């Protein structure tokens, strides 16, 4: 492969590599991920530098997973330990959205031909006719990004004198689901830091960017990534026969009120200047009845996607608990009013009924059970070992919560609030001297690049979509670490995440992304002129400047 690439200019290398990688399937959770990782390992291994230094390219086997990460280390011409990490993810989402075009979802030329005559999307048709866009699953997210890192690795292999430090390259799996690859990479980053004495200046991801509105031509650069929590609500009511439904507590009423208060509620989104922020979204809401009967539902499960930027998990937890308490109080009052109206309409005597529903975090509930003399932690550990592997990890967490409730002698109506997988911390440059200096250097490079490339490069703090850079640092204190762990049942088994390692690594996470449209859609396409011509040069400028800090 080296001989084939060496004969091409950078732009040609990138078009060739992106097309070749797009043609290869690497859907998340399939053997294609492993095949593509091995293919990338072979490409890097063909480069003369790595032929001479075979130990500088290696595969990392991931614990409990049959997939691998691929690493490469390129040492500059000096003995400096400053190192820039290049990283990109190997996997893609599936092709279900392509419908009857599935057979050509990985064939850029045939897709371009289709879209040239497609009347259902005028913008995609115009792009196809321009010849400046490459279509296909993964072309944008993110085989073109992998290609840029490969081409720049090849460039610096031949120009090591330009490096005032080193480049560490990581191609990891499983960005589109559980982030197994980047989580597994943390221990490798720590080991390399210890063995080689590396000092990580920053990480450069090139996950895709797109126009944020019509006629938006800015090429956004991010010095961090948004975080994500998955707050969950396990809601248990009090069942009743439909003939006496007003005597019960219907958990679907509580869930509906919680959902109405949280879902798409922009007042819950953090307000940050010049940042794209998003409100929480309900991803799942389902009551647990397995078949028809005339009993009202006993329990319901729901969880939300919740983006975080400057907020801490503790703050989100406290806010959502208040919302749940307010929802329960509102339903309690409405049930009392409805029962009074029912009693008066039917001329029935008064009756003492309690519609109160208690709201607790899982940490508070575990403490409550412990005070009763129960051993909730022991029960969780035994259950984790026996949960079906086929069960979704979020549903495993609900199973754990509902098992804990069997220990509770009171069996009160309750809302139990907890976190489930995945959890991505927010990661952006802080206010310390090093971060301020890095951001200022980045601004200077982008200003120079704007003049040279005739592009606009707005610098933002948070990549607005989820990305692996979130795992390269954790800015919370020890108390925050403990809060996350205490409110994430089965975290060590369901989503092992070494927050202490992340805190000690503290790698600034930059995203200087490939440019295109239709990410995660069947219209996915990458814009070749910017991505193949300008972006690799911009990343080189940033790399060389960072290594002189």
Q: 209 and 142 in contact (C-beta within 8 Å)?
A: no
Instruction: Report the alpha-carbon distance of residue 340 to residue 346 in Å, rounded.
Output: 10
**326 membership: H or E segment, kind and range:** helix 313-345
Q: 152 and 86 in contact (C-beta within 8 Å)?
A: yes
Instruction: Report the alpha-carbon distance of residue 549 to residue 540 in Å, rounded.
Output: 15
Phi first, then psi, for residue 286 (nearest 5°) are: -155, 130
In this prediction, residue 351 carries a pLDDT of 81
Instruction: Report the alpha-carbon distance of residue 540 to residue 546 in Å, rounded.
Output: 10
- Identify the weakest region by mean pLDDT among 324-328, 342-346, 398-402, 481-485: 342-346
Of 330 and 466, which is predicted with more confidence?
330
In this prediction, residue 355 carries a pLDDT of 86
Q: How far is CA 183 from CA 43, 205, 329, 429, 526, in A?
A: 24, 15, 40, 20, 28
Instruction: Report the alpha-carbon distance of residue 102 to residue 369 in Å, rounded.
Output: 52
Instruction: Give residue 522's pLDDT band: very low, low, confident or very high (50, 70, 90).
Output: very high
Percentage of the residues of the chain whose pLDDT score is greater than 90: 86
Q: 75 and 158 in contact (C-beta within 8 Å)?
A: no
Q: How far is CA 222 from CA 2, 49, 200, 465, in A?
A: 32, 31, 18, 11
Kindly give the residue spans of alpha helices, DSSP state H, lying in 431-476: 433-453
pLDDT at 241 over 80: no
Residue in this structure with the two tokens 């953090």, named with its chain if needed: 270
Pairing type for strands 414-419 and 358-361 reads parallel
Mean pLDDT of 119-146: 97
* Structure confidence by residue, pLDDT tens digits, 26-72: 999 999 999 999 999 999 999 999 999 999 999 999 988 889 999 99
Instruction: Give residue 324's pLDDT band: very low, low, confident or very high (50, 70, 90).
Output: very high
What is the chain's mean pLDDT, rounded?
95
């Amino acid at each position: 492969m080296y001989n084939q690439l060496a004969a091409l200019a950078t732009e040609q290398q990138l078009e060739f590599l992106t097309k070749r990688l797009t043609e290869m399937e690497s859907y998340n959770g399939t053997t294609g991920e492993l095949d593509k990782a091995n293919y990338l390992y072979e490409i890097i291994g063909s480069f003369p530098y790595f032929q001479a230094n075979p130990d500088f390219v290696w595969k990392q086997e991931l614990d409990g997973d049959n997939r691998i990460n691929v690493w490469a280390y390129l040492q500059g011409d000096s003995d400096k330990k400053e190192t820039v990490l290049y990283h990109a993810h190997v996997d893609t989402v599936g092709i279900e959205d392509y419908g009857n075009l599935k057979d050509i979802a990985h064939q850029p030329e045939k897709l371009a031909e289709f879209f040239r005559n497609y009347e259902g999307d005028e913008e995609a048709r115009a792009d196809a006719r321009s010849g400046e866009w490459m279509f296909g699953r993964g072309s944008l997210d993110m085989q073109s990004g992998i290609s840029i890192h490969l081409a720049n690795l090849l460039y610096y292999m031949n120009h090591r004198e330009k490096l005032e430090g080193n480049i560490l390259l990581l191609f990891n799996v499983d960005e589109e689901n559980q982030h197994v690859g980047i989580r597994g990479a943390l221990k490798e980053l720590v080991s390399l830091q210890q063995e080689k004495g590396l000092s990580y200046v920053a990480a450069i991801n090139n996950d895709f960017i797109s126009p944020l509105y019509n006629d938006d031509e800015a090429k956004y650069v991010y010095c961090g990534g948004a975080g994500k929590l998955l707050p969950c609500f396990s809601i248990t009511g009090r069942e009743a026969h439909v003939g006496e439904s007003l005597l019960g507590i219907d958990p679907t009423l509580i869930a509906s009120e919680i959902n109405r208060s949280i879902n798409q509620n922009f007042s819950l989104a953090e307000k940050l200047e010049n940042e794209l922020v998003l409100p929480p979204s309900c991803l799942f809401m389902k009551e647990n009845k397995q078949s028809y009967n005339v009993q009202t539902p006993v329990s319901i499960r729901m969880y939300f996607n919740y983006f975080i930027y400057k907020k801490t998990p503790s703050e989100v937890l406290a806010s959502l608990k208040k919302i749940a308490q307010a929802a329960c109080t509102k339903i309690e009052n409405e049930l009392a009013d409805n029962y009074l109206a029912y009693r008066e309409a039917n001329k029935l005597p008064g009756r003492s009924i309690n519609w109160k529903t208690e709201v607790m975090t899982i940490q508070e509930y575990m403490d409550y059970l412990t005070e009763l003399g129960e051993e909730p932690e022991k029960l969780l550990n035994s259950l984790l070992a026996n949960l079906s592997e086929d069960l979704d990890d979020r549903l495993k967490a609900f199973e754990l919560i509902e098992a804990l409730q069997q220990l509770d002698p009171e069996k009160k109506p309750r809302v139990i609030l907890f976190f489930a997988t995945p959890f991505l911390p927010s990661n952006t440059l802080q206010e310390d001297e090093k971060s301020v200096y890095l951001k200022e250097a980045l601004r200077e490079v982008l200003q120079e690049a704007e003049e040279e490339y005739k592009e606009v490069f707005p610098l933002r703090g948070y990549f607005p979509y989820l990305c692996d850079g979130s795992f390269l640092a954790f800015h919370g204190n020890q108390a925050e670490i403990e809060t996350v762990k205490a409110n994430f049942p089965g975290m060590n088994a369901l989503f092992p995440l070494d927050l202490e390692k992340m805190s000690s690594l503290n790698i600034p996470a930059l995203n200087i992304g490939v440019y295109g449209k239709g990410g995660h859609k069947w219209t996915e396409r990458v814009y070749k002129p910017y991505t193949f011509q300008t972006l690799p040069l911009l990343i080189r400028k940033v790399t060389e400047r960072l290594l002189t800090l």
